[in-house]
Structure 1
Amino acid sequence: MTACLRTLALQALTLCDPTQKCAQTLSLWETAGAGTLLLDPTRLIQAQAAQIPGRPAKPTLVPPKHLQRRAMNTAEGRAALIHALAHIEFNAINLALDAVWRFTDMPLDFYRDWLQVAKEEAYHFSLLRTHLQTLGFDYGDFDGHNSLWEMVEKTQSDVLARMALVPRTLEARGLDAAPPLKQKLSQAGDHAAAAILDIILRDEIGHVAIGNRWFQFLCDQRGLDIVVTFERLRQQYQAPTLRPPFNMEARKLAGFSDIELAYLNAETG
């Protein structure tokens, strides 16, 4: 029997070991590219909520306000920042795999797009973890927060809400945060980490663009206005408040329209 891509994505999602999850995600991407997997977008796949997502025992998850702040002029401070970024990327692997297995009745390109995102997030995580190890630390040595996954859980029943509030909202904040973070790392002399951020920003523009593409598709399909619908969903799901500064160049490259960018400025001005 031919294996189902969406079932295998769920299996990768439930893996707890980060190395295994990254390897399985890459293998799934390569196997899917070879055309040897069944992709059935109409099939309902059952999963045990307790197993989603698979994650290691460490890092300990705490509220964002309880995360300890460390000075960037220390090796531990830089490591804490790299760890925070790695934790975001690990969660991003999970959210992309979740989109592949969870949502039914989407075009085939939807599943291919999110499998590509999962593969690239696994690459980002591996880059950051390897660099963290050169600083004498490893993933799990610092605490982390669960805000990204919490929004994934909130939007599990509606693909429109997921596209609006995860890639277009939370991940888009990464486009805004990357330039100042890179500057901090460069000023601290960590040029290797700064170079990794260049790779992440390049790929994250594409990931947000994928979110924009499918949000537009779903709004068109349902006869909804993009700006009005986004604001409604943002309030309904209590998404984080959007705050400047915004990376307008990156957001435009990621597919935000001039109308949306003007609205963003008006709302936060």
Structure 2
Amino acid sequence: MNPAVPSLSDAIRAALLTGDPRSKVMATRKLVRDWRMGRLAGHGDTPMPDKPAWPDYLELLPPGRMPKRRRGGSEQTRIALWHSLAHIEFVAIDLALDMVGRFGADMAPEFTDDFLAVAADEAMHFALIERKLRALLTHYGALPAHGGLWEAAQLTSEDVAARLALVLEARGLDVTPATRDRVEAQGDRQGARLLQRILDDEIRHVRMGVKHFTKWCEIHQESPADHWKTLVARHFHGTLRPPFNDSARLAAGLSRDFYTPVA
């Protein structure tokens, strides 16, 4: 590796430790572009941080202390919804980057390319939702956010199969359609189109996770569906609850053999 050329792991660590939201988005876009253009060396041995940097002004609360979101079309309810979605997408940037930085060197080259593409998509999603918040005369960080979203990443920091199992949990595929329909019923067609775009991208992201999880299981002579259930029981608390978006899950490569036995 040329010491004058920064490694991919250097760039990922720097992006993970960037707390300002806009700067994190720009750093993510730049490192993905640099990787595709051959301007970064290989993975290197730079360690990933235990936790990424988030905005200093963002108030993080435990799940049990988060304010309950009310349904309806009031402006406050709409702001709370989009703020929650912004936080999910913001953390998703870090999850995708950490996936590559932590596990990419030991996986096939396609793994790095796929999850860097996921990181770029999540950065785009966050930027679009942040623009939506600005149109509502607010911003990301104006409300408290769920403080436990990184916990699953910490629990799976030593096991790429377990981290991929987190991708295959795919809960976003189940809840996004109902949110999209509710937003459209309130007359926000632009917001509904944005959620449909996110849903389409998430189907593709889960499909990538299924592909790499299946390859890992083939190498280690494990049944993908059975091993996924084992990892869910070992690492993740609670249960998957229906209803499931079976069509979206199937489009992502997730058969019912994966999730119905643990529902």
TM-score range, shorter-chain basis?
over 0.9
SS state at 2:106 partner: coil
1:237-263 per-position Cα deviation (integer Å, ceiling 9, x unaligned): 134411111111111111113xxx145
Segment drifting more, 86-95 vs 107-116: 107-116
1:15-66 per-position Cα deviation (integer Å, ceiling 9, x unaligned): 00000000011111111111222123xx4323453xx211002331112232
Q: Does 1:20 align with 2:19?
A: no
Q: Does 1:265 align with 2:260?
A: yes
Q: Does 1:88 align with 2:88?
A: yes
Q: Which consecutive residues of structure 1, in runs of 5 or more, have no partner in the other structure?
A: none
Identity score, percent: 37
How far off its partner does 1:129 sit?
A: 0.6
Within the candidate set 207, 216, 219, 1:218 is matched to 216
Moved over 6 A (4+): none
CA distance, structure 1, for counterparts of residue 8 and residue 238 of structure 2: 33
Give aligned pairs, total.
258
Q: How does 1:238-253 map to 2 (within 5 A)?
A: 238-253=236-251
Which residue identity does 1:136 align to in structure 2?
L
How far off its partner does 1:232 sit?
A: 1.1
Q: How does 1:12-91 map to 2 (within 5 A)?
A: 12-40=15-43, 43-49=44-50, 52-68=51-67, 69-91=69-91
In the other structure, the counterpart of 2:158 is: 157
1:179-209 per-position Cα deviation (integer Å, ceiling 9, x unaligned): 1001111122222211110110011111111
In the other structure, the counterpart of 1:186 is: 184
TM-score normalised by length of structure 2: 0.93
CA distance, structure 1, for counterparts of residue 260 and residue 250 of structure 2: 13
CA distance, structure 1, for counterparts of residue 149 and residue 209 of structure 2: 15
Q: Which consecutive residues of structure 2, in runs of 5 or more, have no partner in the other structure?
A: none
CA distance, structure 2, for counterparts of residue 34 and residue 65 of structure 1: 45
CA distance, structure 2, for counterparts of residue 89 and residue 82 of structure 1: 10
CA distance, structure 2, for counterparts of residue 47 and residue 263 of structure 1: 30
Which residue identity does 1:117 align to in structure 2?
V
Segment drifting more, 142-151 vs 87-96: 142-151
How far off its partner does 1:264 sit?
A: 2.8
1:196-235 per-position Cα deviation (integer Å, ceiling 9, x unaligned): 1011001111111111111111111111111221111111
Segment drifting more, 95-104 vs 63-72: 63-72
CA distance, structure 1, for counterparts of residue 193 and residue 113 of structure 2: 27
Which residue identity does 2:70 align to in structure 1?
R
CA distance, structure 1, for counterparts of residue 56 and residue 46 of structure 2: 26
Change in CA separation of 1:239 and 1:210 when aligned onto 2, cut-off 3 Å: farther
CA distance, structure 2, for counterparts of residue 208 and residue 263 of structure 1: 13
Q: CA RMSD in A?
A: 1.5
SS state at 1:147 partner: coil
How far off its partner does 1:177 sit?
A: 0.5
Change in CA separation of 1:216 and 1:77 when aligned onto 2, cut-off 3 Å: same
Q: Does 1:6 align with 2:3?
A: no
SS state at 1:28 partner: helix
CA distance, structure 1, for counterparts of residue 193 and residue 121 of structure 2: 16
TM-score normalised by length of structure 1: 0.91
In the other structure, the counterpart of 2:100 is: 100
